[in-house]
A and B are shown apart, each in its own frame.
Chain A
């Protein structure tokens, strides 16, 4: 099973993410996010940042999770490669993410993300698999 795939959406970019549990789903969503911006393999995990978020429901938590990376990139230029999720449920996530600040000599910028949106947002469990669809405003 693939971890994520990009889907067509006029004007924006959609991502479908898959995981065997919520933890894997959020990890793969983080990885997809990085892949939109740059080539993840170019990122050295020299910095660790704790991320602790709350939301009303799981879909909103996913939006918050990705928007946290939009914020950290916009304000500190941080790009992440490793997403360690310590605990997660429908309404909260505790994680440590690892990466480094953007370096124009090493990190090719594919595009930047303005925000993760609630448009057509979906997080569902299909049998043994968790699946999410999220549209990003570029």
Chain B
């Protein structure tokens, strides 16, 4: 587990889950530096070890779909996307390990906030200065959790490839099941940004958000230098998801960030009420979408109406120039953990 936490995706490559080509197309090459496993509790390790390679519940999913529409043929071609092509979208993270890291540090940060005289509007927002001992310890633990998440997604992607190989009786290479991009969400990263003409080192916290770096940025894969970093914005399970690219304007306005999903419109409770008495799986099947879900309650809570129409959300990004639309993906099979 130590190697997973410290080396991230390198561990998956050493153990036969994926290729060196995959690693080129993962944020930070699938390894956030300076992870400190000593700052991750035994409880977090215990929760994590049973969950490596699992999707998890809530809004996490694996979706098989296809490219329904291409808006930017040039950028789509660079990513290897074309109309009607099959796609796989995986959304999951650091699972119980990350949550335990969060729980453990909430206790530490509650004390730290008091010690540093930070007035909290809500105790869940407890914090400490980035350069304090508590801040540094947390960044070390969080990097380990992020590396766990990279490994988790890579393992699930590997098994997805194996499933495609089995069903289509072809090798993944021949099926061209290539990774477009793996990007973190809900992360804080130390980055340099230009503010009022000066380069400043910042801790950019992307909560409910994901990174969206512009063309030419040194931290994005060479392949995407001309178009910008691919940005993945999943929608609900009944409609569509979007692939965008980061822009120079977005870099200046948002420190290179975009939303990481459509966002909820109904609470889980309201969604359940809306879904009551309806055969959600059947409704989706009628639209040509097969849904496999571990619990009917999750299915009810995740009904399409529970989310904003991601088309509207993405159009705001596009019109404001914060990210640019490249392609729309439509679901065929949705697996919810």
Task: List residues of chain A with CB within 8 A of the CB of B50.
Answer: 74-75
Q: A68 to nearest B CB, angstroms? A: 10
- Mark B264-275 against chain A: 1 for CB-CB distance below 8 A, else 0: 101111100000
The answer to whether the Cβ of A119 comes within 8 Å of any Cβ in the partner chain is yes
- Mark B288-328 against chain A: 1 for CB-CB distance below 8 A, else 0: 00000011011001000000000000000000000000000
- CA of A137 to CA of B310, assembled, Å: 23
Contact among B47, B100, B124, B270 for A117, CB-based, below 8 A: B124
- CA of A13 to CA of B100, assembled, Å: 19
The residue on B at minimum CB distance from A10 is B267
Contact A10-B264, Cβ < 8 Å, known A111-B301, A118-B124, A138-B58: yes
- Mark A104-130 against chain B: 1 for CB-CB distance below 8 A, else 0: 000011111011011111000000000
Contact A118-B301, Cβ < 8 Å, known A74-B47, A109-B294: no
Q: Contact at A119–B269, with CB atoms within 8 Å?
A: no
Max chain A Cβ within 10 angstroms of own Cβ: one of B103, B106, B111, B124:
B103
The answer to whether the Cβ of A50 comes within 8 Å of any Cβ in the partner chain is no
Q: B95 to nearest A CB, angstroms? A: 9
Contact A111-B122, Cβ < 8 Å, known A71-B43, A75-B46, A118-B106: no
- CA of A70 to CA of B159, assembled, Å: 28
Max chain B Cβ within 10 angstroms of own Cβ: one of A108, A118, A121:
A118
**Size category, A interface:** 20 to 34
Max chain A Cβ within 10 angstroms of own Cβ: one of B56, B100, B264, B301:
B100
Task: List residues of chain B with CB within 8 A of the CB of A74.
Answer: 47, 50-51, 96
Chain B: residues with Cβ within 8 Å of the partner, total of 32
Max chain B Cβ within 10 angstroms of own Cβ: one of A9, A10, A119:
A10
Max chain A Cβ within 10 angstroms of own Cβ: one of B58, B110, B298:
B58
- CA of A112 to CA of B126, assembled, Å: 25
Q: A30 to nearest B CB, angstroms? A: 17
The answer to whether the Cβ of B207 comes within 8 Å of any Cβ in the partner chain is no
Contact among A108, A118, A137 for B126, CB-based, below 8 A: A118
The residue on A at minimum CB distance from B51 is A74
The answer to whether the Cβ of A67 comes within 8 Å of any Cβ in the partner chain is yes
- Mark B250-285 against chain A: 1 for CB-CB distance below 8 A, else 0: 000000000000001011111000000000000000
Max chain A Cβ within 10 angstroms of own Cβ: one of B50, B267, B294:
B267
Q: B260 to nearest A CB, angstroms? A: 13
Q: List 10 A-B contacts (CB under 8 A).
A: A8-B269, A10-B264, A71-B46, A74-B96, A110-B295, A111-B297, A111-B301, A117-B124, A118-B106, A118-B123
- Chain A residues close to B by CB (< 8 Å): 6, 8-13, 56, 59-60, 67, 70-71, 74-75, 108-112, 114-115, 117-121, 137-138
